[in-house]
Structure 1
Amino acid sequence: MNRTDRLYGLVEELRAASPRPRSARRLAERFEVSVRTVERDLAALQESGLPIWAEPGRTGGYVIDASATLGPAGFTPDEALAVLIGLGALRHSPFRHSARTAARKLLAVMPDPDAARASAFASRVHFLERDEEPTAPVEFAEALRADRVVQLRYLDAAGAETSRDVEPLGSIEKDGQWYLIAWCRLRDGVRAFRADRMRSITVTDERPQTRTLRAEDLAIQYGRLRSVVDD
């Protein structure tokens, strides 16, 4: 997660907890950074004018004035339920942190009775998951949106580790498994990289050339490819 996303995430985390405080240590664990980094980020948010303050004491921490941030949203309970289900399905995806804060944001800006109904309905929806569900690295999301060449340390199907410079073109999810679709410079062609085989993901400063991803490049032998924005 880059710093901009983390700053937004901190605001949403504090808004969801308001008026209860969140300690810097708990926030650091939540965003997988050091306490010093969290304190520096919160100081930057305070300097930008956001109503965040620190409460002293053993049970103290940071608090935000939630009433001074977002206005009401025009979601019906059924629409909110649909959004919450969709976000809940991303629990093991590369977008899980953003999905969690988006769900909190949605409920925070709805009128309290509608938010309560949507939450109650959503609690009746369950996902049947495997005992060991693969969790995609969060850096996968940054690699997808950065529009930069990405360096991968990757385990191939035989278990051998390779180093790849790739140009991300998109992603595919199938049965809970996430794949980064990219032009692989090592293989000089389009390849699908499984998220659970990625050992490290480094986004470089190099912009790749423009490439068009065609369905035939993926050599999909079954199923139909559908974008999340398709009706």
Structure 2
Amino acid sequence: MNRTARLYWLVEELRAAAPRPVTVAVLAARCEVSTRTVQRDLQALMEAGVPVRTATGRGGGWSIDAAMTLPPIRFTADEASALTVALAAADATAPHAGAARRAAQKLAASMSGPASAAAGVLATRIVTLPSPANPTVRAAVEQALAANAVLRLSYADAAGRASSRVVEPAGLLGAGGRWYLIAWCRTRQAGRGFRLDRIAEAVLTAEQAEPRDLGALLIGSVAAEAARPPALTPLIPPSSDA
């Protein structure tokens, strides 16, 4: 069993036993490798952000929070390499860029041999330009969308005119290498797009936003024909609008 397969196997074993801990000795015997190898692999999973933990003493061992993980997905070498590079190259202004980088680190930690080498070659061929976007602003926007919360924005338009807005987020639009928060603007009493790199400050409030339909807010705008990326289609419930 190579290292990639072994890391997947370890997660599967810990998930199957959860919430009971499993000792390194038991895992090593089942996998037919040394306890040192298993200990090193478990440490690598922990450093990659997989929610594994260890408890010492009688009845101790390694365990995993099954509620915080997904069942292992077996990628081909090409798929793992492509995903690793694509995630690692995510623009810092893109939604959930931090989570994308962490996912890339987990994939990279699980790869070895040809897959790891292929990912390394692809990585040398991709570069990105630095972005002026404020990571604090992006994080607040992400949290507001996830929690359906009202945001208070300090915003500058294309002419540099500053204003304060209270908005109800509806979604995110990517266009021309830029990201826009599409929201209902209480100040203008209409749907508006706010370019993320023009938001000087975004404050998350405790107020719940009125549910807003992203497609409805885009009607009549230059983004009226915007479509969801094909890769997201499997995640959208059948009852959701396309």
Shorter-normalised TM-score: what interval? 0.5 to 0.7
Question: Residue 15 of structure 1 corresponds to which residue in structure 2?
Answer: 47
Residue 189 (structure 1) aligns with: 190
Identify the residue that residue 119 of structure 2 maps to in structure 1. Answer: 119
CA distance in 2, matches of 1:150, 1:168: 7
Which amino acid letter does the alignment assign opposite residue 80 of structure 1?
A
Identity over the aligned pairs, expressed in percent? 34
- Distance in 1, Cα, partners of 2:115 & 2:211: 43
SS of 2:74's partner is coil
Shift of 1:76: 1.0
Aligned to 2:53: 50
- The corresponding residue for 1:201 is 202
Could you report, residue by residue, the CA deviation over 1:166-211 in whole angstroms, capped at 9, with x for unpaired residues? 1111101123211101010001111000111111111111111222
Cα RMSD of the aligned pairs, angstroms, is 3.5
Count of residues in Structure 1 that have an aligned counterpart in Structure 2? 176
Pair 1:176–1:135, CA change in 2 (3 A): farther
Structure 1 unaligned regions, length at least 5: 1-10, 18-44, 53-64
Residue 212 of structure 2 aligns with which residue?
Answer: 211
Distance 1:145 1:135 in 2: 20
Q: SS state of the match for residue 149, structure 1?
A: strand
Structure 1 runs of 4+ with >4 Å offset: 11-14, 67-73
Q: What is the CA deviation profile of residues 109-151 of structure 1, one whole-angstrom value per residue up to 9, with x for unaligned ones? A: 34x225513422432431464xx53335332322322211111
Instruction: Say yes or no: does 1:145 pair with 2:177.
Output: no
1:28 corresponds to: none
Q: Which residue of 2 aligns with 1:79?
A: 79
Given residue 75 of structure 1, which amino acid in structure 2 is its aligned partner? F
Deviations 1:41-78 (A, max 9, x none): xxxx9xxx8249xxxxxxxxxxxx9x976896411121
Report SS of the residue matched to 2:53.
Answer: coil
Gaps of 5+ in 2: 1-42, 56-60, 235-242
